[in-house]
Amino acid sequence: MHIFHSISTKLSHSKSTFKSLTLFASLFLQSPKQFSQSTSIPKKQQRIRDHGFDDYMEVEKKNSKVIKFQDLLLTQPNSMIAISRLDMLARRFGFKQYEAGKFILKFPHVFEVFEHPVQRILYCRLTRKSLLQIEQEKQALLAQLPLAVTRLRKLLMLSNTGRLRLEHVRIARREFGLPDDFEYSVVLKYPDYFRLFDAKETRNKYIEAVERDPGLTVCAVESVREREYREKGGEEENVRFSFRVNFPPGFRIGKYYKIAVWKWQRLPYWLPYEDVSGYDLRSLEAQKRMEKRAVATIHELLSLTVEKKITLERIAHFRLAMDLPKKLKDFLLQHQGIFYISTRGNHGKLHTVFLREAYKKGELIVPNDLYLARRKLAELVLMSPRKAIVDRRLVNYRKQDDNDEIADHVENGGDHSNTQETVRQDSEEESMDSDEDCNIYSYDDCSINSGYAHKEVNNDDVTDDAEDTRVTE
C-alpha cells in the first residue's frame, strides 16, 4: 500500500497517467469479483429445450381440454348435451363459436355424437371407453387415499408455520392426488392430523398440521442418496449433500461451470423440514445454504406430486410459506440438470416444472395406478379416428353374423317358436341399442343449431387456471 500511495502522488500531476492509474486500480479491485463469478453457477441462464418433456406437454394440452368437456358432460342430465348448447357453454373454456363441435369430433374414442331419437337434433355424450377410464381413475384415487393423506401432511410440514391456505391446496389438488371434496373426505375426516380454521386478519381458511411427525421428515432426495451410495459407492463428502443432475441435450458445460457445480454439490444446507427460525441468516454462507435449501424444498414438493410435475404458478402460491425466491423461473433455470421448465400448453401462459430424475424418454420411471389411469385418457386421445370407424364396422359385422346364424337355424328345421322368440328378443335389443347409440356422425356433420336455454355449470379448473395466470414470479 505504501508503494501504491507513492506512485499515485508522483503521477497525480499528469492527466493521462492519472486516467491510466484509475483504470488500473479499477481492474485491480474487480479482479477478485470476476474470479468468484467464474467458479459459481451463473444467475441467468438460457433455457435449453428437451423435446421429451415438450412432447409430453403437447399431449397434456389436449388432455386438459378433454377433461373440461368430460366434467361438463358429467354435470348434465343423463350425461349428454345438445351440440348447440355445448358450443354455447364451451366459450367459457376459451373456444370460439362452432369450435366446440369440431373439437369433440377429433376424439371419437372419448366423445360420441348421435342424433336424438325424439328431438332429432345432434347430441354429445361420453363413449364406453371414456366412462371406463373415468371409473378407473376414481378407483385409483380412492385406493391411494391413505398416500394422499401422507402427502398433505408432508406438504404442511414443508411450511414454516405448519399451515397453508385451503384455496392454494384446492387449486393443486389434482397434482397431489387429492379428491375434489378433500376438505370433507380428508381434512375433516382426520382430525388427529389436520385442523381447519378461519384467519381473523384475512378471512381465509387455512389447513394446519396438528403435530409434526418425525417419521415423515425424510426427504425423497435423501433416500436416493443412500441408495446410490450403497450401490455405486464413492466419497461420502461428495454424496452427502448432492443432487442427481442430468442436463438436457445440447446444454453446454464448460470447465468453470463443472467446478461451480462440484462446489455447489458439496455445499451443506438445512433440510426442508428443519426449523431455521433460530439461525442467523444475514451472512453470505447462510444465504447460500438457504438457496440450496430452496432447491431441496422444490425437489421435495415435486416428489410429493403424483406425476412429479406441477405448474410454476402453483409453486408460487407456496412461495411465502416455504421461503422460496421471488424470481422462481430464473432460480430454477440455474439448475436445469435437476428441473425442467416447459412452456408448452395453455398458449405459453403457464410453465410446467418437471423433476428430471423421475422421467426417462418422456415417461415416468416409477409409475403409480393414478398416473396409469390418467395416461389411459392420453391413449384414447392419441388413438387414430380411423380405428373408431373400424370398431363400428366390426360391431355391425357381428350383428350380421348373429342374424345369419338365426336364418340357418330356421332353414335346418329348428324350433320355429323358439326362433321367433329369439328374433323378437334380438330385435328388441337392437332397437334399444339404436335408441342409445343412434347414429354416429362423420367429421363433416357438426353444424346443427337449436335454441336451448343457457344453464350455469361450475368448473373449478377454469377458475384455477385464471388464478394461476395472475400469480407473478
| pLDDT tens digits, 235-267 | 777 788 999 999 888 888 888 888 999 999 999
Are 108 and 158 found together in one domain?
no
Are 428 and 384 found together in one domain?
yes
164 φ, ψ to 5°? Answer: -140, 155
Length of the chain: 473
Q: For 417-433, what is the mean pLDDT?
A: 46
pLDDT for 20 beyond 50? no
| pLDDT reported for residue 347 | 62
Burial code of 232-262, b = ≥16 C-beta within 10 A, e = fewer? eeeeeeebebbbeeebbeeeeeeeebeebbe
CA-to-CA distance for 347 and 58, rounded, in angstroms?
11
Cell numbers at 215, concatenated: 417419521
Find the DSSP H helices in 11-81.
15-38, 51-74
CA-to-CA distance for 161 and 163, rounded, in angstroms?
5
Domain boundary among 163, 192, 214: 214
pTM of the full predicted structure?
A: 0.75
Q: What is the DSSP string of 271-326?
A: -TTS--TTS---SHHHHHHHHHHHHHHHHHHHHTSSSSEEEHHHHHHTHHHHT--S
User: Which of 42-51, 232-241, 441-450 has the least mean pLDDT?
Assistant: 441-450
Burial class (CB in 10 A: 0-12, 13-18, 19+), 409: middle
Domain boundary among 191, 214, 237: 214
Number of domain units in the chain = 2
Cell numbers at 70, concatenated: 368430460
Is there a domain that residue 169 lies in? yes
Burial code of 446-471, b = ≥16 C-beta within 10 A, e = fewer? beeeeeeeeeeeeeeeeebbeebeeb
| CA dihedral sign of residues 418, 420, 421, 427 | positive
User: Could you list the residue range(s) of the whole structural domain that residue 169 is in?
Assistant: 145-214
Is there a domain that residue 446 lies in? yes
What CATH number does residue 185 fall under? Answer: 1.10.10
Are 90 and 168 found together in one domain?
no
Beta strands 122-126 and 111-115, pairing class = antiparallel
| pLDDT tens digits, 64-115 | 889 999 999 999 988 999 988 888 888 888 788 788 888 898 999 999 999 8
* Closest to 244 (Cα-Cα) out of 168, 327, 302: 302
- The side-by-side arrangement of strands in the sheet containing 122-126 is 80-82, 122-126, 111-115
Q: Which residues contact 344 (CB under 8 A, 6 or more apart)?
A: 54, 57, 58, 61, 352
| pLDDT reported for residue 405 | 53
Are 109 and 169 found together in one domain?
no
Are 394 and 460 found together in one domain?
yes
| pLDDT reported for residue 448 | 35
* Closest to 404 (Cα-Cα) out of 417, 378, 431, 423: 423
Are 384 and 452 found together in one domain?
yes
Banded pLDDT at 372 (limits 50, 70, 90): very high
| pLDDT reported for residue 466 | 56
Is there a domain that residue 421 lies in? yes
Is there a domain that residue 203 lies in? yes
Q: Taking the CB of residue 132, how many other CB atoms lie within 10 A of it?
A: 13
**SS3 of residue 123 by DSSP:** strand
Place of cell 373426505: 185
Q: How far is CA 293 from CA 247, 272, 274, 298, 326, in A?
A: 20, 6, 10, 9, 15
Are 387 and 465 found together in one domain?
yes
Is there a domain that residue 359 lies in? no
Place of cell 497517467: 17
CA-to-CA distance for 403 and 422, rounded, in angstroms?
10
Amino acid at 283: S
| pLDDT reported for residue 449 | 37
Is there a domain that residue 325 lies in? no
Is there a domain that residue 362 lies in? no
Is there a domain that residue 417 lies in? yes
pLDDT for 396 beyond 90? no
Are 156 and 195 found together in one domain?
yes
Domain boundary among 160, 191, 214: 214
